[in-house]
Amino acid sequence: MKVFYKVLSWLVALVLPVVIILSVVRLVINPAYLIFEYHTPGFPADPYGFSLQDRLYYGKFAVEYLTNSSGISFLGDLRFPAGVKAPPPTCREMTDCSHLYNDRELQHMLDVKNVVNGAMHVLVISLVVLVVLALWAWIGKWFTLYLKGLQRGGIVTLIVIGLIILFVLVAFNYLFVLFHEIFFKAGTWTFLYSDTLIRLFPERFWQDTFLVVGGLSAVFGLLFFFGAGRILKKKTT
């Protein structure tokens, strides 16, 4: 039976990084993060005319869409202010240049929402697994092994995040392409620089976001590692 509990301890170690990383991802899918990111030093201006206020206003709709229950019309019905239209060459691809997003962008946002919903389901399931195992460990008298699992999970998180941050700093474009090829169909996630999605969320936005998610996840990984270690030390003294 002890061997079985050790296996469960390693399960804890593998599930914890999923919980940490997806929790941080959910944290940054928030209009407040846009305020932080758009105000970072050196954030590139939109060459087609979006001001900071424009980005904050339109960007919040894109972020809110990913976490609300609305259909794609939530974004599809958005239009530029009267007298303003999508810049070329984006406008030449649209039947109505007053729309904020073209069909390709709307389809991609629908795909992104499906991926986010799937990730949040994984997060909930992972959290339930950790809680159930914690209760089982407490009742079954193998809580020490559970804490060791949390410690290992903290280390696994740091290793995974370390690799991600290394890729972001050394080969971000490769990581960005790989990420999209895993989660989206080929040809559905490339856009013109004049498209609204790129104007609101340029490459710098995603590079910073990967680093923010990595940094915060690393902090939580360290907290679990040292927190579980401290409790273990108290239990053995």
Q: Using one digit for the tens of pLDDT, what is the confidence trace for 52-100?
A: 999 999 999 999 999 999 999 999 999 999 989 999 999 998 999 999 9
- Judge whether 71 lies within some domain: no
Q: What is the dihedral of CA 53, 66, 179, 213, to 10 degrees?
A: 70
Q: Output the CA–CA distances (angstroms, integers) from residue 26 to 39, 78, 196, 216, in the order listed.
A: 20, 24, 23, 12
How many other CB atoms sit within 10 Å of the CB of residue 95?
A: 7
| Domain span including residue 210 | 2-49+113-235
pLDDT of residue 50 exceeding 90: yes
The span from the CA of 132 to the CA of 148, in Å, is 16
Residue 15: its pLDDT value, please?
A: 98
Q: What's the mean per-residue pLDDT of the chain?
A: 95
How many domains does one find in the chain?
Answer: 1
The predicted structure's pLDDT at residue 185: 86
Q: CB atoms < 10 A from the CB of 70, how many? A: 12
| N-to-C CA span, the chain | 25
Whether residue 1 is predicted with pLDDT greater than 90 in this model: the reply is no
- Number of neighbouring beta carbons within 10 Å of residue 185: 11
204, 172 contact by CB (below 8 A): no
Provide the whole-model pTM: 0.94
Name which of 3-7, 29-33, 114-118 the model is least confident about: 3-7
Banded pLDDT at 6 (limits 50, 70, 90): very high
- Please report, as a single letter, which amino acid is at residue 116: V
pLDDT score recorded for residue 237: 63
* Tens-place pLDDT, residues 162-207: 999 999 999 999 989 999 999 998 888 999 999 999 999 999 999 9
Q: Assess if residue 186 is contained within a domain.
A: yes
Q: 88 in a domain, yes or no?
A: no
Task: Please say whether the dihedral angle defined by the alpha carbons of residues 92, 96, 99 and 103, taken in this order, is positive or negative.
Answer: negative
Check whether 234 has a pLDDT greater than 90: no
- Whether 208 is covered by a domain: the verdict is yes
Which contacts qualify for 21-24: CB closer than 8 Å, 24 or more apart? 21/157, 21/160, 21/161, 21/213, 21/217, 22/119, 22/120, 22/122, 22/123, 22/126, 23/123, 23/220, 24/213, 24/216, 24/217, 24/220
235 pLDDT above the threshold of 80? no
* 73 assigned to some structural domain: no
CA 141, CA 134: separation in Å to the nearest integer?
Answer: 10
Q: Can you spell out the DSSP letters for 171-210?
A: HHHHHHHHHHHHHS-TTSS---TTSHHHHHS-HHHHHHHH
41 is a domain residue: yes
Q: Quick check: is 56 in a domain?
A: no
Residue 191 maps to a domain: yes
